[in-house]
Structure 1
Amino acid sequence: MNVVPTKKPLDEAASRKPAHVIRTADEALTIARELAPLLAAGASERDSQRRLPHDELRQFVQSGLWGIGIRSEYGGAGVSIETIIEVVAIISAADPSIGQLPQSNYLLLESLHHIGTEPQKRFFLSEVLTGKVIGNAFAESGGKNVLDIRSRISRTPSGLRLNARKVYGTNALFADWIPISGVDDDGNVVYVYVPHNAAGLSVLDDWNGFGQRTSASGTVIADNVEVNPAHVIARYKSIGRPSLTGPFAQLLHVAIDLGIARASFAEAVRLARSASRPWIDSGLQRAQDDPHTIATLGDLQIRVHAADAMVARAARTLDAVRDRHDEADVARASVAVAEAKVPANDVALFASSKLFEFGGASSARTNLNLDRHWRNARTHTLHDPVRWKYHLIGNYVLNDKNPPLHIWA
């Protein structure tokens, strides 16, 4: 694989070492809670230096958390969507860049369960359970909208060939397999799993956002890459049809925002307890006795807990129809996720900005890097416009209009 700048390769011995296989939801949550402090310890430094989390990702993968959604008949724990979402929120509170890395992994494995062939399921699900990493390369720039796909998978005398240029390829830089979408000769949208070392494949470390700095969301270029027909997934089977792909994708992003909100609130409490001095006119000895501080933290906790509850509710809505759903089920799921996205979006931005008030001017020192919480929130909440969630909900309630059947609803 051609990488600019040169990628630190995954440790080959670690890549071959089988990942731990998690068996229950309780085990998954326990492991996530144990792993989170280890990832949080270096999060600020990784952000400030933009040091990519190669070792941390390997630790995350080897924990077994990437395979928890795989059904038991294929060797996984088959945990609920609610458990997956909570795992993402826990890891995102520690480091949201790392929390974003498995987003496509969870989504693609769930999609594979519904639209993959039996050989495809057995092969790729086994790959994940043994510790292989799945990235993504779906988004493109320059089209009229996000559904305008210019990449092509074409038949040639030498077999199938892929030509594509993708942006925001989160986790592609670390991946063993990179699913890349394109349009085939029949006009169908498909995606193909491409091995990281395929000839003609380049993954560029060119993501330069001011937040989510170490999510490795760079460019992926496929120049006449050879395609294995057995690795072509019929994505068109889920487009325009009742599918939970959209709500699940959106809820995974919501979980990242929720994690940022939790981390920001925890930082606010820490600052209020240890870094603040009482205001001169308060007549108080301790900042934590200031009624304004107390009330503001109470308000923040309510907002975070409200987002928590809405996210859990949305996840349960998806779980109720996970394996069998019609258009009405998918519509209810999309609305529930939209209702969760709004408060999670808002509290991530609010809490990550408000936390500075508890630490005073000293909390703005660059060496503390507390602004990373807001930068991460502001960057990630731009993934898709929250203003359209209000419209989606209102149109459903007022006009009985179901949300559109695509990955952004």
Structure 2
Amino acid sequence: MTTTTRANIIRSEQEAIEIARRLAREFAVDASARDRERRLPLNEVETFSASGLWGIGVPRAFGGADVSVRIIADVFEAISAADSSLGQIPQNHFATLERLRHDGTPSQQDFFFSRALAGERFGNATAEPGDRLPSEHETRVRRTAGGFVLTGRKVYSTGALFAHWIPVAARDDDGLTVTAFVARHARGVEVIDDWSGFGQRTTASGQVRLDDVVIDELQIVKRGRRERIDAANAVSQLIHAAIDLGIGRAALDDTKRFLRELSHPARGSAVTRALEDPFTLRDIGSLTVDYHAAQALKARAALLIDAARGDAEHRDVAAAIVATAEAKILTTRFALDASNKLFELAGTQSTLQSHNLDRHWRNARTHTLHDSVRWKYHAVGQYELNALLCDPFTYAHPYKAIEE
């Protein structure tokens, strides 16, 4: 049963970072055990949202701290380095807050932002079987004599099991895309924890089934109320990049710890300690440079997104979207490289199940599959060479020139 603990109200960016670091230390203690046992972090999620961190994306006009995107990304990196499943669970919550800025009516913003500040959590029910585009979703909101009803089936619904509200991507009677906010325990809502992926094991990213769920007009947010493109999806993507960065950072930290405490030097290296191996030093140096480079691209994208919020120029929004794609490319590469290199550098002992270090690679490999990084290279190329901005859902079809 989803519980609600009145959330702390965070007032500053510094407070947000300090709380994130404290929680990261707490969450790291049993992270390996939760992964090994596939034990859902119910208490940890409650502690996480009660800390006030889930409300830092609420605009200041509605009582929130309205922290910068840079701080949001830093919070996600810190939590994900401790436990990347806990890092991923609120990703859709923050994406929802950002989308409400652009698409919510004043009354919808007032209601749902206040719910977030009160400690209530937003989940996710977006993807459908067959990976259909939003314009092709079969989940429908139908108007009836008594109001509206919602019917459909969703997969990869990360966060839904822990949520108070589940934002559902659907189409209305006119075929237009909407987001329907459904109470987690409303009649006709079934959340199924059947996620069996080898990584991100405790995200509960299973199914949501909706059978004639009754909703009212306040719960239906029309997508794209403003005709101009916005940076909301860039915020969502940058959070994914921060999660990957946290996974890679955890893998690199464990590699260094293992080398200092347990690893043997390579045969024929003529050194007495693993941490003196010149080739190991070279590889640790290379991974460290990659980590700092990925951090820098994450920070650059965050600054551009912050500049592109609100009524920004089209060119500024485009620059933020492409910068986020660049950050996602590098954080993906770093997470996979660091989690794979761990075993080569740390040696055979690092593969023992008792250490459970393979969770870093499993988490990196699973989470980086959220969207195709190879198409992000394509999107950056289109932007740089042809001055075209690609639709993040259909990279093969550029839809907007940079200049209007």
TM range (shorter): over 0.9
Residue 307 of structure 1 aligns with which residue?
A: 294
Are the aligned partners of 1:246 and 1:407 in contact in 2 as well (CA < 8 Å)?
Answer: no
Are the aligned partners of 1:159 and 1:226 in contact in 2 as well (CA < 8 Å)?
Answer: yes
Are the aligned partners of 1:163 and 1:224 in contact in 2 as well (CA < 8 Å)?
Answer: yes
Residue 370 of structure 1 aligns with which residue?
A: 357
The whole-number CA distance in structure 2 between the counterparts of 1:144 and 1:403 is 18
Percent of pairs with identical residues: 47
The whole-number CA distance in structure 2 between the counterparts of 1:266 and 1:111 is 35
Instruction: Please report how far the alpha carbon of residue 403 of structure 1 lies from its aligned counterpart in structure 2 after TM superposition.
Output: 2.1
Unaligned runs of 5+ in 1: 1-8
The whole-number CA distance in structure 2 between the counterparts of 1:10 and 1:227 is 20
Match of 2:278 among 288, 291, 309: 291
Q: Which amino acid aligns with 2:112?
A: F
CA deviations over 1:169-196 (Å, ceiling 9, x no partner): 1000010111112111122111111111
Are the aligned partners of 2:62 and 2:113 in contact in 1 as well (CA < 8 Å)?
Answer: yes
SS at match of 1:154: strand
1:107 aligns with 2:95: yes
Residue 175 of structure 2 aligns with which residue?
A: 187
SS at match of 1:402: strand
Q: Which amino acid aligns with 2:105?
A: T
What's the C-alpha RMSD, in Å, of the aligned pairs? Answer: 1.6
Correspondence 1:141-156 to 2 at 5 A = 141-142=129-130, 145=133, 147-156=135-144
Correspondence 1:78-157 to 2 at 5 A = 78-142=66-130, 145=133, 147-157=135-145
Are the aligned partners of 2:143 and 2:173 in contact in 1 as well (CA < 8 Å)?
Answer: yes
Unaligned runs of 5+ in 2: 399-404
Residue 42 of structure 1 aligns with which residue?
A: 30
For normalisation by structure 2, the TM-score amounts to 0.95
Instruction: Please report how far the alpha carbon of residue 282 of structure 1 lies from its aligned counterpart in structure 2 after TM superposition.
Output: 2.3
1:278 aligns with 2:255: no
Residue 326 of structure 1 aligns with which residue?
A: 313
Are the aligned partners of 2:158 and 2:206 in contact in 1 as well (CA < 8 Å)?
Answer: yes
CA deviations over 1:18-52 (Å, ceiling 9, x no partner): 21110000100010001101111111111111000
Residue 2 of structure 2 aligns with which residue?
A: 10
Greater CA drift, 303-312 or 141-150: 141-150
The whole-number CA distance in structure 2 between the counterparts of 1:322 and 1:85 is 16
Greater CA drift, 283-292 or 191-200: 283-292
Are the aligned partners of 2:134 and 2:169 in contact in 1 as well (CA < 8 Å)?
Answer: no
Residue 392 of structure 1 aligns with which residue?
A: 379
Distance of aligned partners of 1:387 and 1:407 in 2 relative to their CA distance in 1, 3 Å threshold = closer
The whole-number CA distance in structure 1 between the counterparts of 2:364 and 2:120 is 29
The whole-number CA distance in structure 1 between the counterparts of 2:337 and 2:177 is 39
The whole-number CA distance in structure 2 between the counterparts of 1:258 and 1:325 is 28
Are the aligned partners of 2:179 and 2:223 in contact in 1 as well (CA < 8 Å)?
Answer: yes
Q: Which amino acid aligns with 2:383?
A: Y
Instruction: Please report how far the alpha carbon of residue 407 of structure 1 lies from its aligned counterpart in structure 2 after TM superposition.
Output: 9.4
Alignment coverage as a number of residue pairs: 396
CA deviations over 1:143-194 (Å, ceiling 9, x no partner): 6546421110001223211001001110000101111121111221111111
The whole-number CA distance in structure 2 between the counterparts of 1:71 and 1:179 is 19
The whole-number CA distance in structure 2 between the counterparts of 1:182 and 1:165 is 10
Instruction: Please report how far the alpha carbon of residue 72 of structure 1 lies from its aligned counterpart in structure 2 after TM superposition.
Output: 1.6
Match of 1:31 among 2, 6, 19: 19
The whole-number CA distance in structure 1 between the counterparts of 2:392 and 2:278 is 48
Match of 1:259 among 218, 221, 246: 246
The whole-number CA distance in structure 2 between the counterparts of 1:176 and 1:197 is 8
